[in-house]
Amino acid sequence: MNIDYKNWYLIAIIVASITTMSGYLAWSHYNSYRDVSFSFDYSKGKANLSSTDSGRIDIDDNQTIRLKKGEYTLNTSGENIENKSKTIQIDDESKDIKVNFNYTLDFLQKIYQKEEPKILSDLYSQYPKIKSLYSVSGGAVYEKGQYYGAKLIYNQEKYEHRDSLRVLMKKNSHGQWKVISNPPMPILSSPDYPDIQPETLESINRAK
């Protein structure tokens, strides 16, 4: 029996190539996804993801979802919660994502009206000179009402060109407001406050 070794060799190469390509495609498909966990206070609000390819994906607290790498829109909503959409990128570094809920501006304003006397009292207690040297302007509470920020405008004519300052305070579990921009600075920078949303600091820096 004559065996055409050349043809068998070609067939073997083709089979090996197909096997290699199939393995690569399988690996490539697997590697194009990422297991990502989302955490948030489910009693405060709801969250979902949306993308062109995947449509809408509802999220539960501490749920791990296998997502294709790419760009998604993270949407939040709830009672007194700001309806907010934020673009996030799922990549090789994505693992644990914390979902932040912010109260609506109207609800934050109600909190501020109630908390303002206590906030100013605690501020002047920690920095007594602020009351006589500065005017507090543009005060507001942020996120879930646990942060306060304002502009401090120097009101002494002798140094009328002195820089205005930004003060940042946080309410602790005992209901006291503590200054965490220690001391108040002309600009609040995100690297100095990694636990605070950048949008919060930007709003305080823009306060007039």
* Whether residue 26 has pLDDT greater than 60: no
> If you compute the radius of gyration of the chain from its CA atoms, what whole number of angstroms results?
28
Q: How confident is the model at residue 8 (pLDDT cuts 50, 70, 90)?
A: low
pLDDT digits (tens, 9 = 90+) for 137-148: 999 999 999 999
Condensed to tens digits (0 to 9), the pLDDT of residues 126-137 reads 999 999 999 999
What pLDDT does residue 65 have?
86
pLDDT exceeds 60 at position 22: no
Strands (DSSP E) found in the chain: 33-39, 46-51, 55-59, 63-68, 70-78, 81-90, 96-98, 134-142, 147-154, 165-171, 177-179
Element (H, E) at 99: none
Task: Dig out the tokens for 45 from the structure.
Answer: 């609000």
Q: What is the pLDDT of residues 44-71, one digit of tens each?
A: 889 999 988 778 888 888 888 888 888 9
| Residue among 141, 158, 159 at smallest CA distance from 150 | 141
Among 30-34, 49-53, 78-82, 131-135, the least confident range: 30-34
DSSP state of 108: H
Does position 150 have pLDDT exceeding 50, yes or no? yes
| In contact, 208 and 137? CB cutoff 8 Å | yes
Q: What is the per-residue pLDDT for 167? A: 97
Q: Torsions phi, psi of 15, nearest 5?
A: -60, -45
Residue 185 in 3-state DSSP? strand
More reliable by pLDDT, 149 or 99: 149
Confidence (pLDDT) at 17 = 60
Taken in order of first residue, the domains within the chain and their CATH numbers are 32-98 (2.60.40), 105-206 (no CATH)
Summarize the confidence of residues 98-118 as an average pLDDT. Answer: 95
Give the tens place of pLDDT for each residue, 169-197.
Answer: 999 999 999 999 988 999 999 999 999 99
Q: Is the pTM of this model over 0.85?
A: no
Q: Across residues 75-86, what is the average pLDDT?
A: 91
The region of weakest confidence among 84-93, 112-121, 155-164 is 155-164
